[in-house]
Structures are given as C-alpha cells and as structure tokens.
Structure 1
Amino acid sequence: MTRTTWHCHIAVSLDGKIARPDGSFDWLMDYPPQEFGIDAFLAEVDAVVMGRATYETVRGFGDWPHPDKPTFVVTSRPLVDPPQGVEARPADFAALAAELEGKGARRVWVEGGGQVIRGMMAVGKLDVLEMALLPLVLGDGIPLFPEGTPGLGLRLVKCEPRSGGALHLVYQAA
C-alpha cells in the first residue's frame, strides 16, 4: 500500500496569520502563487481537506478550482449544492485520514484553515509544511496554528527568496 503524504501548502504573514479576521486574504495579491510552486504541487495532489470557512471563501471565487480532486470539507453543517467531487465530513480527523489512506491517496493537501491543520496534526497527519512567508504583519487575523495545536518538530529542507522579500519554505516533520 502506498504511504500517504499529508502536505500543507499555505501562505502566512510574518506574525503567523493565514487570513484577516473576516477570512479575506487580499494581502496575498502581490505574491504570485506560481513563485511558490503551487502548480507543480497541485499536479501531485490526489485529494484536498479543508475547513468550512476555507470552503466558503474558495466557493465565492466562482468556478471550483479543484474539479479533478476529491475534496473533503470538515464541517458539522451540510453543504448546499457543492461542486462535483466535494463532500462534507465531520471533524473526525482520524477517520478521514484512514478513509483517504484506504483509498490509496498518495498526497493530500491539508489546505486549511488553522482548525483543520490543528486537527490533522493532532492525529499525526502533517508530513510537509510548505509556506509562502510574506513580509507583512497583519496584526489581527486567523492564526496558522490556533490555540491547542499540538507540538511538532520540523526540519527545514528548502528556503528560497522570492519577489517582494517573501520566502518559500519547506519543512518536513522530524
């Protein structure tokens, strides 16, 4: 059986925020995701796990950006008219991980937000943390690692400067 890699690829401000308090991320617009390897990364992803707020934000963009990737939205509420391939799941991260591993997923994008990342870390399912570290301090906002996130040792495997003073960082779980 193929081992699943649980991979979080995310943009973060210097003060550890992944979005403004209202969930918006207009502050990312000056930093093209292609500079951070998003296209190559997405080509390797077999499935996506995201939280309800992330889903609602992405849904607001119009066309679903992952039509060829099974997507699992961690939520306690039903999804209204979800795109094809998108399913709601309860916050049982161990069961969701077992399901995706059982289906042979090789790489799963733990897209966010912070609560989903925390939940996956709590069940030992974060192997790679890849970040676009942007030279901004947002102050208030949604943290990458909310309170209650378990500890995790990481090993830096890549650090490359990008335009505008940003860094492309890749860590592996130690």
Structure 2
Amino acid sequence: MGRTLWHCHIAVSLDGRIARPDGGVEDWLAADYPAEDFGFGAFLAGVDAILMGRGSYDAVRRMGDWPYAGKPTVILTSRALPDAPPGVMARAGDIAAIAAEMEACGHGRVWLFGGGQVIRSMLAIGRLDLLEMALIPVVLGEGIPLFPAGTPEVALRLLQCEAKPRGALHLVYERVA
C-alpha cells in the first residue's frame, strides 16, 4: 500500500473565489468553462475517495443526482445527512484522525473537494499534495474564498500551466516538501 495522494481539483475566479456567497457556481463557471476542458474526467477516474465539506455537499445535492456514485465520500459535518447517497458518510471531529482513517483504507488518491475550510484544515495538517485549478477569468467580487483567513503558509511549485479557451488557465501545483 502506497502513500495517499491528497489532490484538490477546483475552479477558482481571478479574485480567488470558488463560489458565490450562496455556494453557486453554475452561472459563472459551468456553461462557458466545461470541466472536461481541464481534464476533469480523467482526474475523477483516478480518484479513489472524496473528502468534502458540508457546504459543498449541499451545493452538489441541490444540482440533482449524486454524480460521484461508487466513490466513497466523507462529508465533514456535525449534522446528519438525510437521504445520503450510498457510500456517503458524515464525519465530525479531528481532521487529522479523519485523514488517517481514509489513508488506512488504502485510498491512493483522495479528492479534496472543498470548500475553503476543508482545504485550509488539510493544509494545516500537511495533507495537500497537489493543487489543480481551473483559473476562470472572472472577478466575482464576493463569495467563498479558496483560501479563507487563517490558512497556513505553504510553498507550491508549478508543474503545469496551460492556456484554455476564453482566457482560462489550467494550473497544477505541488506542495514543496
């Protein structure tokens, strides 16, 4: 069993927002910047499990059917998940213990789905290996930040920078050891 790779694949606006204040992304992201332009299908195929915050989970559920069937998913929340899809479970408590449990399951690649609080917490315990971003050329002005206040300093090294249609960039960074 190898080491778990913690991989965040996320879309972000030029001003560092991952969603509008209400969690919405559909109007500024989905139509003009399809996920497949940023290798999302291949990425998702290589994911063994997902770690997601409650706000992100609720936003995905509002969009309809659960799109990640077959991917064990841990939702960081202290509230129950009524009608959770198969393979989705709620967890609360120490993030390091939750991460260690996911690693013990033998997951090779875990998608850090978001939101910003999850990413901040995982950075704080040294569990973000790859940060892959679709940088979208829009300034939202307000919304949910990718890196909320209190995010620890971390050095990253650029692995990939690819120009995409309509001025977007596909960026991949790795954490510097």
**Runs of 5+ in structure 2 lacking a partner?**
none
Q: Distance in 1 between matches of 2:62 and 2:20?
A: 16
Residue 140 (structure 2) pairs with residue 152 (structure 1): no
Residue aligning to 1:86: 88
Secondary structure of 2:123 counterpart? helix
* TM-score of the pair, normalised by structure 2: 0.97
Query: Cα distance, 1:91 vs. partner?
Result: 4.2
1:93 CA drift (Å): 1.2
- Where do 5+ consecutive residues of structure 1 fail to align? none
What do you get for the CA RMSD once the two structures are aligned? 0.7
- Within-5 A mapping of 1:36-115: 36-115=38-117
Supply the distance in 2 between the matched residues of 1:128 and 1:19 (Cα, whole angstroms).
20
Alignment partners' CA distance in 1, 2:65 and 2:141: 31
For 1:4, the equivalent position in structure 2 comes to: 4
Distance 2:8 2:93 in 1: 17
1:15 is aligned to 15
Distance 1:93 1:123 in 2: 8
Q: Distance in 2 between matches of 1:61 and 1:142?
A: 18
Moved beyond 2 Å, runs of 4+: none
Percent of aligned pairs sharing the same letter? 64
Say how many residue pairs are matched: 174
Show CA shifts across 1:91-148 (max 9, x none): 4210111011111100000000000001111111000000000101000110000000
One-letter amino acid of the structure 1 residue matched with residue 18 of structure 2? I
